[in-house]
Structure formats: structure tokens, C-alpha cells
Chains A and B, each alone.
Chain A
């Protein structure tokens, strides 16, 4: 299985500031068949299912605020949240869909400082 490792495990950021969450895969998730990075980011709030934020490492889902952005290549990826809002408090997961089983990172808990 591809192992996904996120850092940090938890993060406290002031309102209006930037939050940066990292994700590392144990092997490349760039698929040669379509030359795309098979990585997604999800946001999960307590008592709710995960919500898709970003696919293909950097494509924001419709309706997701543009303060959320994804970047990275090869095995290292970043989710950036600019101008943090109170409603962004959640656990964030990266997930690879390069090869089954599709595996998730351990999550990063984002709080307000």
C-alpha cells in the first residue's frame, strides 16, 4: 500500500493568517497513463463526512472558497489555506488514488490560535 504521511499532526493559526499542511506519499502518485497527480484533499468537521476540497493535487472543487489551494509534485504536496476563517476549523486529510487501496494520511487538526 502507498503510505501517506501528513505534517504537522495539529496546527493552530490565527484568524486571517495562512495555514499550510503537508502530505508525503511513499511513492510517486503521478500516473503515466494520464500524466496527472492522483491526489485529493478532504476537510472533515466533527460529526460530518469528509468533504472533497481538491482533486488532481491542485483542482479546487466547485463551491470551495479560493482561499484553499493545493500544490506539489512527485511525492510532496501542500494544502494552503489563506486568510483563515473560523469555519475552517476541521481535520484535513490527503488521499492518493494512484493505486488501490486508496489510502489516506493520518490527518491534520487545524485550530484557531
Chain B
């Protein structure tokens, strides 16, 4: 079964660092874009950014660029979302999600990658930042 298993809830203080994880099972992890989505209580989901584990190509939403760091370790099928200095406004549930996508190839080389909708989701990691 294809699934994404996220790390557990966190309670942190402002200014602290944090790295949460998302481990993939049941599919070829390097071959799919995997993204992170923030959802504050009662609000719409917000797409934060995405990584292609095969080559670590990473893209960020302008709203989150410089605020978080996305990484992946394809040897252990795991993606990460990291903060260097948390703020109270980072309090939210964070989901990882696999994106369906496609590639444009030229002579056997990927020259462009596209990512689309999110078809497999983790259960979410709740992060509470409070003094």
C-alpha cells in the first residue's frame, strides 16, 4: 500500500529549531515529487514547496521561501521540513503529499519536470509553538 508516514506532534518554544519527517512506503520514492502543505486551524491548505528526491530539485512558494527548508534522503525514502527559528505563527498542521507528475525527456535525459495534483497524503504533523 502506498503511504506516507509522518513524525509525531511537536511542542516547541519560539526561536527553537525543528525538523519533521515524512517516510514513504509502497512506491518508488525517488520518482515522485513530494511536497509540504501547511494548514492552520479552520483555514485552507497552503502549498509550501516541493522536492524531487531523485535529484533533490527543490522549489518553494514565495510565501515560504527563506522561512523553511525542504530536503530528502532517497536512501531511506524520507522527506523533511525544517525550521531554524520557529515563530508562534508557525503553529499549524503540516502535511506531506506525493504529487503526480511528468517529465520531458531529450535523448534519455530529463530536461523538464512537472508536478500536478496530490494523490497520497500523510496524516499530518501538528506543530505548536508557544512560550
A interface with B by C-beta (< 8 Å): 38, 40, 42, 48-52, 55, 61, 93, 95, 97, 100-107
Contact = CB atoms under 8 A, between A and B. Distances in A.
B63 A49 contact: no
Contacts of B97: 49
B41 to A, nearest CB: 11
Categorize the interface residue count of chain B. Answer: 20 to 34
18 contacts: A40-B116, A40-B118, A49-B95, A49-B97, A49-B122, A49-B124, A50-B37, A50-B95, A50-B118, A51-B121, A52-B121, A55-B116, A61-B119, A93-B44, A100-B47, A101-B46, A101-B62, A105-B44
B65 to A, nearest CB: 10
Is chain A's binding surface mostly helix, strand, loop or mixed?
A: loop
Given A104-B44, A105-B44, A95 B117 contact: yes
A93 B126 CA distance: 21
